[in-house]
Amino acid sequence: MQNNFLILTARVAYLEFSLAIFLILLFISPIQANEAVEQQAQGSPPLPDYVPRKLKQPKVEKITDLRILVDISGSMKKTDPTNLRRPAVRLLANLIPAGSRAGIWNFGKQVNMAVKVGVVDESWRQLARSESKKINSVGLYTNIESALRNVSFDWKKDDPRYKRNLILLTDGHVDVSKNEKEDNESRKRIINEIIPALEQAKVRVHSIALSDDVDERLLTTLSAYTDGLYKKVKNANELQKLFLQMLEQSVKLDTLPIKGNTFNVDASINDMTLLIFNSDKKKPTKIITPGEAGWTKNTHSSQVTWFADDGYDLITIKKPKQGQWKIVAPSDDNNRVVVATNLKLKISELPGSLKLGEKLNIKAYLEEDGKPLSDQRMLSKFKLVLKRRSQDLTEQEYVFVKSSDNASEYTVQLEPISEPGHNELIIQAKSPTVEREVHHQFKVYANPGSLGAETIAHEENKVQAGAHKTKSSNQTNGDESKEVINIEGDLVKLKDAPQHKNKADNEVAKEEHAEGDNEEEKELDWTLISIAIVIGNLLLVGLVVGGLYYVKRRKAKLLASLADEEESSDEEITKENAAKDLNKEKPKETEEKKSEKETEEIEEIGEIGEIGEIGEIGEIGEIGEIGEIGEIGEIEAAPDETEASNKDDAKEDKS
């Protein structure tokens, strides 16, 4: 009944939430439409018919970003008297894949960047080999805090483009001054500030302890919390092999299986690099080619680059001949044949640590020219196997099977491991003509109370010694990362393995713990469920009310803006009408003025007319008189007589 009630409650809450979202969208849509209309009315450009959307980019393989920290403190004179750190660093420099990013630092009291972070190419390798000769043991202190801060200067947050790894080699404790208090404060800052920052930036820290007198708990914590690998060696002669293992944790090298000091080269291999460990100078390494030719450091083909260093030979061969090759040197499990090829074996991301009894699912596939190999005829010729080599060197073999949901993918499940310690995985893909191999290591952490030295809790996770708050290993519900282990009276937190569980792991876990889940459902606190339902309903009501209030306010604003627009338009119309009236009155005034002017002109013309008439009458009278004279005398006067007569006439007129 309780289970049914829970399901019913969840469904009701889901329906209520969906209804609330629908109502909010229903009320907001008209407002958005009105706003669009307003924008268009104001002359804004219309919305485009098509808005380009961001498409998912194809998954790109991450670029390796590797940083190397080498301790050069004075104590190294005892732990590494012959400076075997130098050939170990050169080994790394030569094996880091081209195109990766890498940098090298030395640290004592101060931190020195020996090789600047950059893209790995031949010039970078040459600089690294040159700078490795300067590694010494003259540092006064062991400032691990400053070294970690300097090496991670640009690792502020996770960057999905890069796969970040850090290799730390040291032989001592945190030692920053003669004051022990300052040393302790520096150590706390590493735990509480630097480790969380490295976790957040997705950096895996692989630490190497080169002494028994080392802060093993700090180094283990540093690696375990960042899902890295921690190892301790007592002899510097093992440094080179250990650096190789740390490199394989950082970069998945494409290698060929070596069996009985022989290996097979196929036609898809362009270049190969042989790493052969041989410290016997009396019996130098020799290579036998498929044509039975023997190569040594001093006698070899022009296609061969032979680099011999303390304890190992590094031989690069361009366009190697197809067939079986043989190594004449002491057999060593750490020998490698690294190849450059277009046919690669790819595996899923693997953790650096597991808990005792934890299962692990591994996926693998073959890649050709950067794409998963999908030719089923070719895939049918391959067999994929997994070998697990435990700390006591015993081996277990597993066979991959085809994935049910991907024809190009293979899967295998690693059985729960019952013994703590270091383990090595060797994954091989074999066909009659092609072989590939990948190596990976991880550490299995023990159950609470069974390990002598493990991880230190972050400051916020520390609890008082003697509280003995432990969690049984079979408790699977809740947050497993809160598990703690008892170490010499101090309770410290053991970090859960990183998020490497895939879909298959989750399904297995569900099947195994179905009964436990059913029992826990019966113990659920129904009061809390009821409170959650009430809170959810209140939130829904608040959303609806808030949406309605928002709609109401938006409508009021729209109405107010429309009213303002109407008022402004009325004012504009009134102004226009007034202007028109003024324009109409002006012609009337001008016409009246014109008529008045015309009247005045007419009157003036009348007056002038009258004057003209009077003048004309006078003139006529004068002419009449002259006519009479003419008629009487009919005398035609000469010019002189006429002027004289005119003068006489003028005198008469004056009189």
Q: What is the pLDDT of residues 191-245, one digit of tens each?
A: 999 999 999 999 999 999 998 889 999 999 999 999 999 999 888 888 999 999 9
Range in 37-41, 102-106, 128-132 with the lowest mean pLDDT: 37-41
Tokens 């000769």 label which residue? 133
Q: What is the 3-state secondary structure (H, E, C) of 570-617?
A: HHHHHHHHHHHHHHHHHHHHHHHHHHHHHHHHHHHHHHHHHHHHHHHH
Residue 214: closest CA among 253, 170, 277, 165: 170
* Domain with residues 343-467+480-513, CATH architecture: Sandwich (2.60)
Distance CA 456, CA 487 (A): 10
3-state secondary structure of 117: strand
Q: Which amino acid is at 649?
A: D
For the stretch 492-527, pLDDT in tens is 443 443 444 444 444 444 444 444 444 444 444 556
Residue 443: closest CA among 425, 457, 459, 458: 425
Does the pLDDT of residue 158 top 80, yes or no?
A: yes
451 touches 420 (CB < 8 A):
yes
Residue 246: closest CA among 69, 500, 98: 69
Cα dihedral sign for 306, 307, 309, 314?
negative
Mean pLDDT across the stretch 446-452?
A: 46
Range in 47-51, 365-369, 388-392, 433-437 with the lowest mean pLDDT: 47-51
For the stretch 292-340, pLDDT in tens is 889 999 999 999 999 999 999 999 999 999 999 999 999 999 999 999 9
Distance CA 515, CA 333 (A): 45
For the stretch 352-362, pLDDT in tens is 988 888 889 99
For the stretch 22-47, pLDDT in tens is 656 555 555 454 444 444 444 434 33
Residue 418: its pLDDT value, please?
Answer: 85
Distance CA 263, CA 613 (A): 147
Task: Name which residue leads in pLDDT, 583 or 552.
Answer: 552
Residue 535: half-sphere exposure toward Cβ, Cα within 13 Å: 6
Split at pLDDT 50, 70, 90, the class of 393 is confident
208 alpha carbon, distance to own chain's centre: 30
Residue 550: its pLDDT value, please?
Answer: 81
Percent of the chain with pLDDT strictly greater than 70: 66
Distances (CA, A) of 83 to 86, 90, 135, 136, 137: 6, 12, 7, 7, 8
Does the pLDDT of residue 134 top 60, yes or no?
A: yes
* Domain with residues 61-251, CATH architecture: 3-Layer(aba) Sandwich (3.40)
369 alpha carbon, distance to own chain's centre: 26
Long-range Cβ contacts of 381-384 (<8 Å, 24+ apart): 381/431, 381/432, 382/429, 382/430, 382/431, 382/434, 383/429, 383/430, 383/431, 384/410, 384/412, 384/427, 384/428, 384/429, 384/430
Does the pLDDT of residue 597 top 90, yes or no?
A: no
278 touches 284 (CB < 8 A):
yes
Does the pLDDT of residue 123 top 80, yes or no?
A: yes
Q: What are the respective helix, strand and coil percentages of the chain, to the nearest 5?
A: 40, 25, 35
372 touches 408 (CB < 8 A):
yes
458 touches 195 (CB < 8 A):
yes
Split at pLDDT 50, 70, 90, the class of 647 is low
DSSP state of 139: B
Non-local CB neighbours of 537 within 8 Å, separated by 6+ positions: 13, 16
Mean pLDDT across the stretch 572-586?
A: 70
Strand arrangement, sheet containing 162-170: 111-119, 101-107, 63-71, 162-170, 203-209, 230-232
Distance CA 386, CA 414 (A): 9
| DSSP-H helix ranges across 67-226 | 76-79, 85-95, 122-132, 144-151, 180-189, 195-200, 216-225
Environment class of 128 (CB within 10 Å of its CB; exposed 0-12, middle 13-18, buried 19+): buried
Residue 125: closest CA among 151, 104, 148, 111: 104
Distance CA 190, CA 148 (A): 8
- Taking residue 203's Cβ as centre, other Cβ atoms within 10 Å add up to 24
Q: Which residue ranges make up each domain of the chain?
A: 61-251, 253-341, 343-467+480-513
Vertex 45, ends 44 and 47: CA angle to 5°?
A: 120
Percent of the chain with pLDDT strictly greater than 90: 50
Distance CA 493, CA 109 (A): 30
Range in 10-14, 300-304, 473-477, 606-610 with the lowest mean pLDDT: 473-477
3-state secondary structure of 156: coil
Residue 242: its pLDDT value, please?
Answer: 93
Strand arrangement, sheet containing 383-389: 353-355, 435-445, 421-430, 383-389, 395-399
Tokens 């219309």 label which residue? 46
Non-local CB neighbours of 200 within 8 Å, separated by 6+ positions: 157, 158
Range in 65-74, 201-210, 577-586 with the lowest mean pLDDT: 577-586
Question: 253-341, which class in CATH?
Answer: mainly beta
Give me 352's structure tokens: 């650096």
Give me 191's structure tokens: 């735990």
Residue 11: its pLDDT value, please?
Answer: 62
At what angle are helices 514-522 and 2-41 packed, to 10 degrees?
90
Tell me the pLDDT of the chain averaged across its residues.
77
Split at pLDDT 50, 70, 90, the class of 564 is confident
Residue 518: its pLDDT value, please?
Answer: 46
Environment class of 339 (CB within 10 Å of its CB; exposed 0-12, middle 13-18, buried 19+): buried
Range in 269-278, 465-474, 489-498, 529-538 with the lowest mean pLDDT: 465-474
Distances (CA, A) of 223 to 137, 358, 390: 25, 19, 20
576 alpha carbon, distance to own chain's centre: 62
Split at pLDDT 50, 70, 90, the class of 48 is very low
| 313 bridge partner residues | 276, 308
Give me 38's structure tokens: 């307003």
Environment class of 165 (CB within 10 Å of its CB; exposed 0-12, middle 13-18, buried 19+): buried
Split at pLDDT 50, 70, 90, the class of 535 is confident
H or E segment and range at residue 69: strand 63-71
Residue 613: its pLDDT value, please?
Answer: 47
Split at pLDDT 50, 70, 90, the class of 648 is low
241 touches 307 (CB < 8 A):
no
Residue 529: its pLDDT value, please?
Answer: 66
Range in 65-74, 268-277, 373-382 with the lowest mean pLDDT: 373-382
For the stretch 173-190, pLDDT in tens is 899 999 999 999 999 999
| 230 bridge partner residues | 207
Distance CA 533, CA 529 (A): 6
